[in-house]
Structure 1
Amino acid sequence: MMTAGIGEALALGSAATWAVGMILARQLGATLPPLALNLLKNGLVLLVLVPLAMLFSAGPWPQLSASELAWVLLSGVIGIAVADTLYFRALNELGAGRMGIIGNLYSPLVLVLGFLFLDERLGLQQWLGFGLVGMGVLLVSKPRREWKTQPAHTLRGVLFGMLAIALMAVAIVMVKRILETQPLLWITALRLGGAVGGLALLAALPAMRHRVAFDRHRVPWGRLVVAALVGQGLSMVLWLGGYKYTSASVAAILNESASVFLVVLAALWLREPLGRRAFFGVLLTFSGIACMLLGRATP
């Protein structure tokens, strides 16, 4: 089901709330290893999301076949449990700037997968918007200062980052058609349930226990809860809503604006300087968003 404007608005809202969550969670990686951070954030969101799904969704349970349920759960394992953990690991090894560059692979991958498996096509204005958003995000996510340092494990971090982005793209295309016909909150909760289950099994493995160990006294729990509910929970619902109500290609391109929202919010909220290149990148990105909104993709 495609509803004019709603999917695009949800995709942009997801990008904005993700950026807010990233600012709130900025220092969580210093006290929590990637696997533990991923498990705690998603577990907190699941505890809140299930009661909300029961309260606001029409009917107690979505009408899913066994195969559809399996696809939704598998999407959560692949796209959240595995992909997010790899993403956090790559982020720790490469830093935000380099991961911003690797993140640019996401929308092209979704475009290709949407073309192959969902029969989606972009119109001329969408392609123009895609180019503008891509150039804008590239400018914003490549701070000059960071490239003066060389991480100790660059190749490993790049491989982890690329694999994480590829798995995210595959996982969302897997559930695109199911999302279109099922209650948004329930599908989000089920997908998150698959992720939390996968993360819990992974954390229980003897070889992985040292990767989830942390000092609970050093964790800023209040910041973690707010970051999880805003940057993970609300952002995830809006993110999946974008894919539910518009084409996967358009939603993916609009999701790319998250790094631009992050730069803008950091300038407004944290008073971080907004350089000339970043400012030009912001203008390019929002020009691309305007092109995406003016011309809709063919479903």
Structure 2
Amino acid sequence: MGILALLEQLRSMVRDSLHRWRLILPPAVSPFPFPPESLAVLAAACWALAALFSAPVARKMGAFAFTRWRMVFATVMLGGWATVAGTWGSLNLALVSVLVLSGFIGIFIGDTVLFACMNRLGPRRSGILFATHSMMSAVLAALFLGERMGAVAMLGCALVLSGVMCAIAFGKRAGSESSLEATRGRLAVGVSLGLVAALGQALGTLVVKPVMGPDVDPVAASAVRMAAGFGFHAVLLLVGWKPARLTAVMEPRDWQLLAGSAFLSMAMGMTLILAALKYGSAGLVGMLSSVSPILLLPLLWWKTKVPPTLGAMAGALLTVAGVVLILARLS
């Protein structure tokens, strides 16, 4: 009871502060004929499709330069969209402050630490650790936003999380890319970095939920969040941090792929996430947005002509079952 009482007191303090700063807006009524949380699945599909064709240019540019330039393109796209639509007026200074904070936590801290984890543990184990952001989102939403899930939704979330982890853990064929999976440095440090990256992703989206009121435009909000993320990433370049530099010679085709990746993953994907947060449950949005590795499986099968492993297929089936349970419960 002592721990529960402490958590309840902490949640009350957070909500009182948000009310005092006028950051909690009335909940928005969904205009969609389907559960708004399903927009998170569409966002995950955008991320999977972007990952399919952006990997070569990402390797060529380096992770930090690739992310920074994607933010440039996405900020221009979203900012132009919001300008033409005339929706900048839906934002106020307090909301912009929260969006900047979200960009700092989720995009700058989360992405930077994730890349550091990937360098230490490789893509497979870092992916497993990062997948825990869905569980963190659900727990934090329950603690601080008072969101509650029924038994069916909780079962669906458990299936989604276990399915994604199973697909990542058993998705590699024996002997493939073994050098990428070597541990560099202390294992505990790599694990800690992966969990911090997951927490950054969860917090980065969670802090936006209370301020996404009925009059807030997700496109304008996404533009501010993206611009903030770019600004923080640009600091790494300005201070002369070597990994942030772009040293590759870029071809026109590379810029085209980069722009396409920015449109799908950051302009469309992030805007869909904010729209889902505006109308739906933050915990379920975080959970459903984690299915990107599963949606990538059939795309890779189509591109490489190599079917997924049995472990990846089993994980995909678990994830699909979990998504169906969650969305059926919401319908």
TM-score above 0.5: yes
- Counterpart of 1:71 in structure 2 is 98
Question: Tell me, which stretches of 5 or more residues in structure 1 are unaligned?
Answer: none
* Pair 1:163–1:35, CA change in 2 (3 A): same
145-154 vs 105-114, which moves further: 145-154
* Pair 1:147–1:217, CA change in 2 (3 A): closer
Contact 2:43 2:289 in 1 (8 A): yes
137-146 vs 125-134, which moves further: 137-146
- Counterpart of 1:266 in structure 2 is 300
| Moved >4 Å (runs of 4+) | 146-149
1:61 is matched by which residue type in structure 2? G
Alpha-carbon displacement from aligned partner over 1:243-277 (angstroms, at most 9, x marks no partner): 12210111111112111001121112332322222
Cα distance in structure 1, aligned partners of 2:304 and 2:119: 21
Contact 1:31 1:214 in 2 (8 A): no
Identity value in percent: 25
Matches within 5 A, 1:82-231: 82-142=109-169, 143-144=171-172, 145=174, 149-153=181-185, 155=187, 156-181=189-214, 182-206=216-240, 208=241, 210-218=242-250, 220-231=254-265
2:89 to 61, 66, 69: 61
Cα distance in structure 1, aligned partners of 2:144 and 2:279: 17
- Counterpart of 1:50 in structure 2 is 79
Cα distance in structure 1, aligned partners of 2:53 and 2:120: 20
| Structure 1 length-normalised TM | 0.90
How far 1:154 moved relative to its partner? 5.9
How far 1:222 moved relative to its partner? 2.3
Contact 1:43 1:196 in 2 (8 A): yes
Q: Secondary structure at the match of 2:208?
A: helix
Q: Secondary structure at the match of 1:78?
A: helix
Cα distance in structure 2, aligned partners of 1:186 and 1:223: 24
Cα distance in structure 1, aligned partners of 2:311 and 2:107: 32
Aligned-pair RMSD on alpha carbons?
2.2
How far 1:99 moved relative to its partner? 2.1
Alpha-carbon displacement from aligned partner over 1:95-146 (angstroms, at most 9, x marks no partner): 3321221122111111121011111011111111011111211221113536
* Pair 1:128–1:147, CA change in 2 (3 A): farther
Larger Rg: 2
How far 1:92 moved relative to its partner? 4.0
Matches within 5 A, 1:272-291: 272-291=306-325
Cα distance in structure 2, aligned partners of 1:193 and 1:204: 16
Question: Tell me, which stretches of 5 or more residues in structure 2 are unaligned?
Answer: 1-27
288-297 vs 146-155, which moves further: 146-155
Q: Secondary structure at the match of 1:26?
A: helix
Alpha-carbon displacement from aligned partner over 1:222-255 (angstroms, at most 9, x marks no partner): 2222122212221111122221221011111111
1:12 to 21, 30, 41: 41
How far 1:159 moved relative to its partner? 2.8
Contact 1:38 1:85 in 2 (8 A): no
Alpha-carbon displacement from aligned partner over 1:177-209 (angstroms, at most 9, x marks no partner): 112331111111111121111112232114x2x
Contact 1:125 1:294 in 2 (8 A): no
* Pair 1:60–1:101, CA change in 2 (3 A): closer
Q: Secondary structure at the match of 1:163?
A: helix
